[in-house]
Amino acid sequence: MIDYDFICVTGDAYVDHPSFGIAIIKRMLEAEGFKVGMIAQPVNDEDFKFLGRPKYGFMVTGGNIDSMVANYTVGGKKRYDDAYSPGGKGGKRPDRAVIVYCKLLKKFFSDVDIVIGGLEASLRRFAHYDYWSNSVMPSILFDSGADLLIYGMGELTLKEICRKIRQGEKISDFHDLRGTCYITDPISTPTGAVQCDSFEICRDNKKAFAVACRKQYDEQDEVYGRTVVQRQANKILVQNPPRRSLTREELDEVYALPFTRRPDPIYDKDGGVPAIEEVEFSLTHNRGCFGFCNFCSIALHQGRRIQARSEESIISEAKLLTENLNFKGYIHDVGGPTANFRAPSCKNQINKGLCKGKKCLSCENLEVDHSEYLGILRKLRNLPKVKKVFIRSGIRYDYLLKDKNRDFLNELVKYHVSGQLKVAPEHSVSGVLDCMGKPRIDVFLKFKRLFYEKCKNFGKDQYLVPYLMSSHPGSTLKDAVELAIFLKDQNIRAEQVQDFYPTPGTISTAMFYTGLDPYTLKEVYIPRDQEEKKMQRALLQYFKPENAQIVRKALIKAGRRDLIGNGKNCLVSPVGLADKENKFYGAKKQRKKRT
């Protein structure tokens, strides 16, 4: 048996690709000269014990997404599929995977240190609202029994851990590492730290929870972010200041590691791992996002500062893709959290940090520049064996519109749209958009007009696919009706609608739990009733015959009977005709099933 220095444990099937965090951790540790074992999706005691006892510690992650999101829909129904598991079948990871894995590891190897990281650990590092139990839970460090938590992107922290280990230090004693959290006794609480109300107070007082949420976000800048502490029972959770971002050269080094860029061959018999399909022929060119949407976890995890790979690094990876036997000539994406961000939002943030609680995209100091990104796209298009280069990551159209040079928009439309371009207006009502941290709808309408003008000019039959969200904090039933009217007026038939999912750590989740905006402490309407949530979702797809009955009910409840009828402005037919439609489409579905 190999004597491993570290053993990684993950809730995903193992895919040796830089889009999977645990693959980066494994490859970096190996590059530092350590022997690394991998336990992917353990299901029984023997799986945890199979590789034996590591010399220095376990590295544990729930996987690329939170295990509860992987296992349940927003409606609380169990998922039976999982793109990160062999054959795409669900049931391979436990609920609250990080906690389960750590407890079992401590049971079998009580004296071995455990480091936790990844999205599930990072976003649950403070006392947090847990949607699935409808309760406030303590830091995941307490429930898991782990010794250290790496939050955010952990490459530099990992390197420092390796340095300290070589000096003979023990992981459980690491209390001075930026980008980490640990537990200590009250007497050892760092001086000068920002103090959040305790877990118990945040659990029992929603205003205290909202204030704590704001404090946590306000200290996530690498320039001015301070230590944050939160008492939990008779111990203190300490979050050290954020780690600095990777330089361009350091990020290039990560992507130059010897990844196979494939799932482990052990999964071939099960049909592989579906998650690779989205990234196998895609390129990640950046990290971070200063868009700072309230329902998004990136600000608390990757951060708002943009980190970008060099042109040489991206081109080098693209050439590797073209040598893949399965490459058909199409690079599916050149993106990241937001595809068209490659530079800081302004020069001030380099030395002063990003402004607390403010949105860069609405700031007069915003600097817009697509030139470097456009130059990379041009070079990728000209590579041998490359037929098309698409952009499928999110495009911030409000940022794009602020660019007076239309070269990027022209070439986006002409070369980089694979028939449909995904954009995210999310809603149309100003009050709801404010709660989301999104631009007003007139910005989307301006982009929509320009996009279709360009499509016409270039002779392209292409379409915008808008992402929309129902039941976000701030959205009343009347707001959902207004959104439905807007969609009808704009001739938009939304095929993809997301009901707001309160995931740990976001500002919108804090709103959902507390009914307060953490930045203003003003009350926010929260659609909690399941029937209303169904109504809001159905209104966004009012045109579907199966939604007719609930849409009529919603319109009556909202006092908008005028929208029920056969007129051109109506959203749904009267009862008789709607029943006939439902009967017709129901019979059609049954015939389709039989055939």
pLDDT at 495: 79
pLDDT at 55 over 70: yes
- pLDDT higher than threshold 70 for residue 378: yes
Return the biggest CA–CA distance within the chain. Answer: 79
Q: Give the confidence band of 577 by pLDDT, cuts at 50, 70, 90.
A: very low
For residues 221 and 152, what is the distance between their CA atoms, to the nearest angstrom? Answer: 12
Q: Is the pLDDT of residue 229 over 80?
A: yes
What is the location of CATH 3.30.750.200 in the chain?
A: 419-528
Whether residue 310 contacts residue 119, with contact meaning beta carbons closer than 8 Å, is answered with no
- Model confidence pLDDT, tens digit, residues 264-277: 999 999 999 999 99
Sheet with 235-239, side-by-side order of all strands: 36-40, 6-10, 57-61, 114-116, 148-150, 180-184, 235-239, 228-232, 194-196
224: pLDDT strictly greater than 90: yes
- Predicted local distance difference test score (pLDDT) of residue 2: 84
Percent of the chain beyond pLDDT 70? 96
Helix extents (H) in 541-574: 548-557
In whole angstroms, what is the distance from residue 1 CA to residue 54 CA?
12
* pLDDT at res. 592: 53
* Topology (CATH) of 6-239: Rossmann fold (3.40.50)
Check: CB of residue 347 under 8 Å from CB of residue 306. no
State the average pLDDT over residues 456-484: 97
**In terms of DSSP bridges, do strands 114-116 and 148-150 run parallel, antiparallel, or are they unpaired?**
parallel
Strand partners, 330: 388
Task: Phi first, then psi: give them for residue 309, nearest 5 degrees.
Answer: -75, 160
Residue 595 pLDDT exceeds 90: no
CATH 3.40.50.280 range(s) for the chain read: 6-239
Quick one: average pLDDT of 246-263? 97
Give the mean pLDDT of 559-565. Answer: 96
User: Scanning the structure block, which residue is given the tokens 């010794």?
Assistant: 147
The predicted structure's pLDDT at residue 586: 53
- 450-477 average pLDDT score: 96
**What is residue 575's predicted lDDT score, i.e. its pLDDT?**
82
Q: Which residues make up the CATH 3.30.750.210 domain(s) of the chain?
A: 281-418
Q: 579 pLDDT band (50/70/90 cuts)?
A: low
Model confidence pLDDT, tens digit, residues 516-531: 999 999 999 999 999 9
Q: What is the mean pLDDT of residues 85-106?
A: 97
Query: For position 578, what pLDDT does the model report?
Result: 44
pTM of the model: 0.94
pLDDT-based confidence at residue 198 (cuts at 50, 70, 90): very high
pLDDT at 139 over 80: yes
In sequence order, the β-bridge partners of residue 230 are: 196, 237
Q: Hey, which residues does 468 pair with through a beta bridge? A: 426, 497
The H helix count followed by the E strand count for the chain is: 24, 22
Which residues, listed in sequence order, are joined to residue 465 by a DSSP beta bridge? 422
- Report whether 24 contacts 48 (CB < 8 A): no
- Are 391 and 415 a contacting pair, CB within 8 Å? no
pLDDT at 392 over 80: yes
The model's pLDDT over 278-287, given as tens digits with 9 standing for 90+, comes to 999 999 999 9
**How does pLDDT run across 62-76, given as a tens digit for each residue?**
999 999 999 999 999
CATH, range 281-418:
3.30.750.210
How confident is the model at residue 51, as a pLDDT?
A: 96
For helices 21-31 and 155-166, the axis angle rounded to 10 degrees is 30
Residue 130 CA, chain-centre distance (Å), reads 17
Q: What is the mean pLDDT of residues 498-511?
A: 97
Q: Domain 419-528: give its CATH architecture.
A: 2-Layer Sandwich (3.30)
Q: Are strands 262-263 and 15-16 parallel, antiparallel or unpaired?
A: antiparallel
CB 273 within 8 A of CB 322: no
Indicate the average pLDDT of the chain: 95
Q: Around 178, how many Cα atoms within 13 Å sit in the side-chain half-sphere?
A: 16
Q: Would you state the pLDDT for residue 587? A: 52
